[in-house]
Chain A
Amino acid sequence: MTITIDANEVDRRLLMDRSLAGRRAFTLPGSDVPEQSLPDSSLLREDVELPEISQLEVIRYFSVLSQLNFSIDTNFYPLGSCTMKYNPKINDELSSLPGLSDIHPLQPDETVQGAIRLMKDLQDDLGEITGLPGVSLAPLAGAQGEYAGLLVARAYHASRHDEKRTIAIVPDSAHGTNPASAAMAGLEVVTVRSDEQGNVDVENLRELVNEKTAVFMLTMPSTLGLFEPNILDITNIIHDAGGLVYADGANLNALLGLVKLGDLGVDICHSNLHKTFSTPHGGGGPGSGPVMVSSELAKFLPTPVAEQTDHGYVLSQPAMSVGSINGFHGSFSIVVRAFAYIKALGCEGLKSVSENAIIGANYIQSKLKDKYSIVADRYCMHETVLSAANQKKRGVSGLDIAKRLLDFGIHAPTMYFPLIVEEALMVEPTESESKETLDHFIAVMRQIDDEIDRSPELIFDAPHELPVKRLDEVAAVRKPVLRWSPEG
């Protein structure tokens, strides 16, 4: 019998399938204290079924797995709304410094003055950048920042005995966390339409606001990558009705030094440090989603807020705080990285970030809009939403194009979002990418469009060059296998 081994096959066996009794990757020191009696054996367990493998195998297993990933370090990753910019290596190094990575969250304030001061300085910088000076770094991700912001809005209305305000108005282009967070905050979600230019339909908004409007949630720039030209009218309409304006700052990378949200009448916003401020996405977190508010709302912020007092820096609870939304003080080592990023760029550098991000996105849009349609023929901000509607008519979907891009080593754009654009492909190049990379992307997108008529099978069957081809996601749901088991 001959066994054929495929030269390209990656060994995908799980850790438990590599386990061999007696192997070890690690030893612990022996106990240096007199032996203590163990608790009643009825409380104790036998073994925990963890793998038994050598140290080299641990390293090789995870190293080989890592090579199955696309990442910013290895690929162009124009994933819209996710701001996949360069994650500076120095930031990782600084966040793991002794004195920052090994301090306990419940140490007395006087023993962690450097850490609290760093938080305070980042709060100030974020307040300055957004024009909203009340800042809490507590939220652990954008969705938590959003929820915290909505709690602040509710607390504000409650403090005015205006508790009938239970409606959140959300544009039809909004990210899914907006309505999900609003529902968590007990708000009823009402959707406002976008007009044919991709802007909020101001007339529709006027009809929707009333004495029950708690908050209007707007992504700035919008998920279409557009700056809302009627923003001043919008914030006035909401304020006149007694509501607050919440800006989802997921797309803040377009605005650094170009405009402050607070100047536009925004009352509350959050920012994703893992987007605009370059902290790594980690394959799906950790994130950090500081919430910024006007000075009037600062007393409602979630706990804690770093403050400078006569006795030094302290972590404190705002007077009418909405409380603690997680265990400790937020994603501190992410905060460290974001602060390092701001320090490295400084005022001029941050502005240059947004300028270059906008220039790159418009360049791509201008070079592709003859092939891939855009919602409205206008300039975009830091990202452009292309539509594969023309390609769909020729039998190829946005999904197919996304999968074909992977063959060229380019990560797919964000697909099918925002929901209001047919076959949406949302492209965000970021300021980190060189013109050569953008030109390559443009060339590949044009080539794929060409392939539709020339060799469509290349697209339908894509990706060809990756560790796996398209996966059966239907089977994954119908018969879920969610963990290793001895039966395989």
Chain B
Amino acid sequence: MIAYLFLFLIIAATIAYFIASRRAVAIAGNDARGLHSRPIYHGLNALVYTAIPAFIFILLWLLFEGSVIDMLLMSAYPGADAMTGAERDLLLSEIRQVAVGNIFREPTPEITAAVERFHSLNATANLLLGAAVVIIALAGAGLAVTSVSKRFLARHSFERSVTIFMIFASTVAILTTLGIVASLLYEAYLFFERVPVTDFLFGIRWEPQIPLREDQIAGQGAFGAIPVFVGTILISFLAMAVAVPVGILSAIYLTEYASPRFRAVVKPMLEVLAGIPTVVYGFFAVLTVAPALRQAGISIGLDVAPNSAIAAGGVMGIMLIPFISSLSDDAFAAVPQAIRDGSLAVGATKGETIRKVLLPAALPGIVGGVLLALSRAIGETMIVVMAAGLIAKMTVNPLDSVTTVTVQIVTLLIGDSEFDNPKTLAAFALGLMLFIITLFLNLIALRIVRKYRESY
């Protein structure tokens, strides 16, 4: 049904486009200059008027159709007033299941009646929707076609429509972010109703369990986030310790020393590194790097945990190299050649020029890249889920096993979860903290990058 409506809209809009533009051509006659807007704008304007209002109407209709039909079904169902919300949902889903033919048990006469009612409501709704869409589309087309005249500002009208569409496009991401923040805030609020904020922020025990029975001993969990954040910081630190030097040095080599041919080959390959799915890095860490580190540790008498922080952090560092190297690369390339020449002309060597002139000049860009990589490291999930541990230990020993915020969020929400206990809700509190931290880091990074743009 909806598909037919869209097909109708496309055809109607195309026809309206041709009618309006032909009409504009006819009105203009031989004098193309007499027309304010060129015929194509009259056509485009008619196209927008025909298709867009009807399209928006369809979207709104679909948004509300389900709940309106549910309401009508319930109001006709005997005894529905006395039901709780959950019972209503159960009943509605049963009616829908029967309506599409999935019958698990013999339906009661009430349900059979409701199903019939459901079918007839649906039919009426489709009819109404179809009629309304046709009317709206034709009205829009008629309005646009009849307003075609020499002085009609069709270009302005069309450009306004385009502007509105661009405003919509630019706000989609913002609205989505706001939605995410709102849901995080709400769920985190539910969590903090059960666990005090201070316990969460300053507690040093992370044992996210809940008692299964009332009288269970030691079933009371602890939700102190510090060990988890220590783990995140440790792994991020290890990752940055790998990524920052390697990234910056490779950027220096590629921009200042490498031959164009070497650069043409290596730079795209570095960027391929950024395209490798993190899950692939994850099993590289857990199947290759971690056992190798453990072996090496045994051979020199060190006790390396099977899920060591250094394996996860190191591999994450490799993943981050392209971020830092490509942003640093841009920063170096943005330093004008004139400044390099100026330094060389007073007799500085290439190395001195790089250390004393290029690095300071490119520093803001490099710092921006490092901070972006850091917020990636903090938010990175897949590598640590696979290669880091699950137990929240308060340790800064890179050979030990630690857990991270993202790992805990994943484990808390995996499996059957009910959203009415602190165990699952804790995931949202952790998520909120993580969001705040990465937001903060991103803000700093953006500020630095912006400042950097102004300096040349």
Do A and B come from the same complex?
Answer: no
